[in-house]
Structure 1
Amino acid sequence: MEILNQNQNQPEDPNKNFLHSTTARIVMVGVLTLVLLIPLQYVKNLIFDRSQLQRHTEETVSAQWGGNVYVYGPVLKIPYKNTKKNGAPAYAYFFPEKLDITANVVSESKRRNTYKSAVFNAGIKFSGNYTTPNFSKSGISPENIDWERATIQLNTGNLKGIKGAVAINFNGKRYNFEPASRENSNDSMVALETKTINLRDAFAGGVVNFSMDVSYNGTKRLAIVPIGKLTETQMISNWHKPLFGGNFMPEKESDTATGATACWKISHLNRPFAQQHFGSLPDLKAYSFNVDFIIPVNEYEQNERAAKYGFLVIGLTFLIFFLIQSMSRISIHIFQYIMIGLALIMFYTLLISITEHSSFRFAYIIAGLSVVAMITLYSISILKDRRFPMFIAAALTGLYTFIYVIIQLEEYALLAGSIGLFLILGAVMYFSRRIDWNK
């Protein structure tokens, strides 16, 4: 009897009580969440490696199909004798008085194994007119101008992407373009040039009209320099939501499910370069208006964005199980938390692997349903009550749906994410208010 009383009076081990306390459990769950960031990082690295292969495919297709398209023209090129350099040959360049451009852009996808790249074909029509080139302000004597040996240039940064022959109808006559060198050029553009034209005869009637068509294969960007004294451009594309940039934004633009259109109207007063240049052409790339045909969020970027929410998914799922454990007094072993965490990480490997053979939406639905079903069935055996697993299934479904919506949003992603996280925090505060942290 005396021994029994001594055992009853013996103080309990404080370390043993702490290990079974609510505080210890939440600390262990928090540490486990941080540990699971290691395999999650491996999954992120896998997604990054696959996205690099996708980028390499885009670069390969771009090199084979045709890269960014930069173009401006036509430009009159007139030789003259430079008396300041002992009569050395030089060239004067004149831009059109009126320039109308119509670009019809048709995009498509080129596939290499499981990777694809977006490309386009741009049919560009140039038309307009020239007035008689004026040398009066240059100090060049009329007898030093070689009107009979003038040519027309088309300047571009993508010779490889040009499809078919290129010719200009100038004053009712057809002239073919051939590759040529650019004298004293200050940029990386290359030139197509016609044979010599007698401008003295061409401008005998005053204004000269011209028209020409150019077909380009390109990727990502179409850039045009508005060299006309008045340049009016219309772009028609089957691409959904192209990005407009460069030195000028379109005056009008519309976007529908079937494509987009845009219009520019640019005067020579809107740009910092003149209508004529002597000696060489300046670098005009910085004064182009651009249309970018890129996928705002491609499938690999969507996978990367989904993986960034991995910590949130793991943390909130563990928090749900912890709240159930604390309020129902059901014991959940740390090993069971590990299994749940690994199932959550498997979602991202399923997502990236299925995405490469289908769409991101289909992959997200299949991966999400698979993981939710696995964790729900596993939690039935843990919690011994069907009410809690059904709540977990509903919570995980809502969480994955919420993340999918954020990934799809572009302009309102931050706003939706902030509101969603605020509501989740409020729900956690509401359900955790009854936890006795002293036990």
Structure 2
Amino acid sequence: MGKWTQTVTAKVLGVGVLALLMTIPLLQVRGLVSERQQLREGAIAQIAQGWGGKQVLGGPVLVVPTLQQVAVAENQPSQWRAGSESMLADALKLDVAMAVETRSYGIYAAPVFVATVKLGGQFRAQDLAQFRRASNAPWQGGKAELRLPIGDLRGLQEVSDLRINGQPARFESSAERLGPWPNVVVPVDLDTLSDRPIDVQITLKLAGTEALQLLPLARSTDVTMHASWSDPSFIGAALPLEHKIDAAGFSAHWHLLDLNRSYGQHWTDVDSDMSAALQASTFGVQLYQPVDVYQRNVRAGKYGLLFIAMTFVAFFLFEVLKRLRVHPVQYLLVGAALATFYVVLLALSEQIGFGPAYALAAAAVAVLVGGYAMAVLRARRAGLLLGGVLGLIYAMLYGLIAAEQYALLIGALVLLAMVGLMMYLTRRIDWYAYVPTSTEPPAAIMEQP
């Protein structure tokens, strides 16, 4: 048993166990990345608290108060309950101009915007008449409200113009909600309109953070949006029919019909599934930040065990082919240096960006491990070669991180090539041979060709 533990095979198994032990610090690093990402999200929440969060904006919705007859219990007379019915516009047009800037909270930054929105909505007279006839509950007089849903009312900076059929009006605050979103409302008297169409014109400024989504609250919704941000991510239930992106920013155009959504032009407040249906119909843009250091750090960490194992294999090959002896503690010190790479990368990438941070961290670890290998292996050439191999490994890792769509293919080919190279280099090793010790002369562990 004692002799078997001195074989090359036992050494390989020991190196494998040491590589697995290095998963412990790698998991700690992954937890650190998650913690820093949560700190960033908290910083963005602080920015949004004083500016406005991710915004959602809809069109005007006509809401009429009703009296609905409901059954209380069996053999009991029904009772009247106050409710409401909602109707959407025939046409909705939005012209959105976003002024974007980046705001910082500590070392963290997030894109914020002020959107100048020109909104026009039209309710047809025949739709209003049909709405009244189709109602299954008597209306409470002619009093109604036009409600405008806004995701975060803290971001409503200004309403510079509000006109109903050409007459100026004013929004009022309200405790009512449209789905999950709060509203601002303006009262209207349907009796005075005498079944005439309702034309609503609104100009407002809406501030928010990272994203602006819109609601298709009309039979026909037409949206034009442009902003000075060159990395938009179009999100939600509908992509733009046409868009243009260049260094100066982007412009986009959407056109949606009522047939493109899962709810109709009219519903009552007892429709319990409306909130989910409304949320599912949102569309718009997210101000994407292409240099997401945390996402890239997570992707780099996923290959940590693989590259620690590859470095250990390189050490092992030098040890066996050169008939040297490396202590397990020395393997652990090399593994600790490799794990430290991810901590240094995370710390630097928050300050100077991912690319420069990666280059500095990789260079530092390659020099550190290469210099240590010179002392351990007592060969300058071996240390330089190992440092160069480690630099090549980190270059391949960066390629895997950068190639998002082809990362799996490239990684699989690199892994296959590395396995093939190790098989070639170890093809003449006698795995039953004893590992040389410091007290005995080196034993020949390579077969004669």
Alpha-carbon distance in 2 for matches of 1:80, 1:42: 59
1:368 Cα deviation from its structure 2 partner: 0.7
Cα 1:81/1:140, change in 2 over 3 Å? farther
1:186 and 1:192 map into 2 onto residues whose CA distance is 10
RMSD (Å), alpha carbons: 3.3
Matched, 1:352 2:341: no
Measure how far apart 1:268 and its partner are.
Answer: 1.9
Query: 1:226 offset after TM fit, Å?
Result: 0.9
- Equivalent residue, structure 2, for 1:252: 242
Q: Deviations over 1:315-344 (max 9, x none)?
A: 101101111222222333333323222221
Task: Give unmatched runs, 5+ long, in structure 1.
Answer: 1-13
Matched, 1:320 2:310: no
**Partner of residue 363, structure 1:** 357
Higher mean Cα deviation, 299-308 or 366-375?
Answer: 299-308
- Residue 15 of structure 1 aligns to a residue whose secondary structure is coil
Instruction: Assess, with a 3 A threshold, how the Cα gap between structure 1 residues 202 and 411 changes in structure 2: closer, same or farther.
Output: farther
Residue 123 of structure 2 corresponds to residue 130 of structure 1 = yes
CA distance in 2 between partners of 1:121 and 1:409 (Å): 34
The Cα of 1:278 is off from its aligned counterpart by 5.8
SS in structure 1 at match of 2:58: strand
Any residues of structure 2 matched to 1:272-283 within 5 Å, and which?
A: 272-277=262-267, 282-283=274-275
* Residue of structure 2 equivalent to 1:170: 164
Distance 1:31 1:83 in 2: 74
How much has 1:372 moved relative to structure 2?
0.6
Tell me the SS of whatever aligns to 2:223: strand
Distance 1:334 1:145 in 2: 84
TM-superposed CA distance for 1:89, in Å, is 7.8
Indicate the residue corresponding to 1:3 in structure 2: none
Q: CA offsets, 1:100-119, max 9 Å, x none?
A: 12223344333222233343
The structural deviation recorded for 1:150 is: 5.0
Whether 2:292 is the aligned partner of 1:298: answer: yes
2:214 counterpart of 1:228: no
Distance, in Å, in 2 between the alignment partners of 1:346 and 1:417 is: 22
Which stretch shows the higher mean deviation, 370-379 or 216-225?
A: 216-225
User: Offset at 1:215?
Assistant: 2.1
Q: Which position in structure 2 is the counterpart of 1:401?
A: 395
Asked if 2 retains the 8 angstrom alpha-carbon contact of 1:94 and 1:275, the reply is: yes
Please, what TM-score do these two structures have when normalized by structure 2?
0.81
Q: How many residues align?
A: 419
What is the rounded CA distance, in whole Å, between the counterparts of 1:45 and 1:266 in structure 2? Answer: 43
Bigger Cα displacement from structure 2, 129-138 vs 332-341: 129-138
> In structure 2, the residue corresponding to 1:165 is in which secondary structure?
strand
Q: Tell me what 2:2 maps to.
A: 15
C-alpha contact 1:171 1:202 (8 A) present in aligned 2: no
Larger CA deviation: 72-81 vs 369-378: 72-81
Residues 1:31 and 2:21 aligned together = no
1:100 aligns with 2:93: yes
Distance in 2 between the 1:126 and 1:307 partners? Answer: 47
Pair 338,121 (structure 1): closer, same or farther in 2 beyond 3 Å: same
Specify the alignment match of 2:411 in structure 1.
417
For 1:28 and 1:365, the matched residues in 2 are separated by 32
The more displaced of 91-100 and 265-274 is 91-100
What is the CA distance between 1:371 and its match in structure 2? 0.7
Is residue 150–residue 199 contact of structure 1 (8 Å, CA) maintained in 2? no
Shift of 1:212: 1.7
Taking structure 1 as reference, are residues 106 and 415 closer, same or farther at Cα in structure 2, changes over 3 Å only?
farther
Identity among equivalent positions (%) equals: 29
TM-score, normalization by structure 1 = 0.83
Q: Deviations over 1:151-181 (max 9, x none)?
A: 4321223211211235423333322212124
Where does the alignment leave 5 or more consecutive residues of structure 2 unmatched?
71-77, 434-449
SS of the aligned residue for 1:111 comes to strand
2:40 equivalent among 37, 54, 58: 54
- Matches of 1:324 and 1:135, distance apart in 2: 88
After TM superposition, list the pairs within 5 Å mapping 1:82-101 onto structure 2.
93-101=86-94
Distance 1:428 1:241, change over 3 A: farther
| Counterpart in the other structure of 1:216 | 206
